[in-house]
């Protein structure tokens, strides 16, 4: 399916780019990339759309109604974090995008990881690798002359605009942190 064929198919069933993205579990930016042919349309998304086209109009409306009732459990976007260790504090920005997490902080530390929205607890379960450049001192007072890393885990309620984070680290030292939702990810032009 080409980008133009995708546009035509969505128009035929009166389905917006945003609603299609929500139905197939991707960002509207991903759908925009498919439409512009900047990225190939995955087979499952194309297959879902073809099945959706075969539904009678009343069943398509029921499916869209369920989607709107359900709401969006996970709010992808940019999140600010501030954190406090035993030795110092820091701030950073993390991007949550379709199950992936990446970001940086004021010391050039990199964050790479993943999240899963837990339908039972209604929280995002987060796992992130925190990578330090050489000679950068962590909030725990640890520094190395080479690149080094540790893992962190936490969970949070993505429907809240801000809240505390109880962060567990693979080096055994807890970290107090706070998150704030900054903004949604921009849609592709």
Residues 96-112 pLDDT 10s: 987 899 999 999 999 99
Confidence of residue 25 (pLDDT cuts 50, 70, 90): confident
Burial 71-100 (b: 16+ CB within 10 A, else e): eeebbbbbbbbebebeeeebebebbbbeee
CB atoms inside a 10 Å sphere around CB 37: 12
| Mean pLDDT for the stretch of residues 46-65 | 86
Kind plus residue range of the DSSP H or E element containing 126: strand 123-132
Over 80: is that where the pLDDT of 3 sits?
A: yes
Share of the chain above pLDDT 70, in %: 95
Most confident of 2-6, 59-63, 122-126, 131-135: 131-135
* pLDDT on residue 125: 93
Give the separation between CA 111 and CA 104, rounded to whole angstroms.
6
Domain boundaries, the chain: 3-70, 77-183
Over 80: is that where the pLDDT of 60 sits?
A: yes
Q: Which fold has domain 77-183?
A: Lipocalin (2.40.128)
């Amino acid at each position: 399916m080409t980008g133009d064929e995708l546009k035509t198919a969505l128009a035929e069933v009166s389905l917006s780019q945003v609603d299609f993205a929500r139905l197939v579990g991707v960002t509207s930016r991903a759908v925009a990339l498919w439409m512009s042919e900047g990225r190939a349309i995955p087979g499952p998304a194309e297959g879902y759309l073809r099945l959706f086209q075969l539904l009678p109009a009343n069943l398509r409306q029921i499916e869209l109604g369920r989607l709107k009732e359900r709401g969006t459990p996970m709010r992808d976007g940019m999140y600010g974090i501030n954190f406090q260790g035993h030795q110092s504090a820091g701030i950073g920005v993390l991007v949550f995008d379709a199950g992936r997490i990446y970001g940086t902080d004021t010391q050039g530390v990199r964050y790479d990881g993943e999240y899963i929205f837990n339908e039972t607890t209604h929280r995002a379960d987060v796992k992130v690798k925190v990578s330090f450049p050489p000679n950068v001192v962590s909030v725990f007072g640890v520094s190395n002359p080479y690149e080094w890393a540790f893992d962190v885990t936490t969970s949070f309620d993505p429907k809240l605009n801000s809240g505390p984070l109880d962060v567990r680290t693979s080096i055994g030292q807890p970290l107090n942190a706070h998150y704030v939702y900054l903004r949604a990810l921009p849609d592709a032009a």
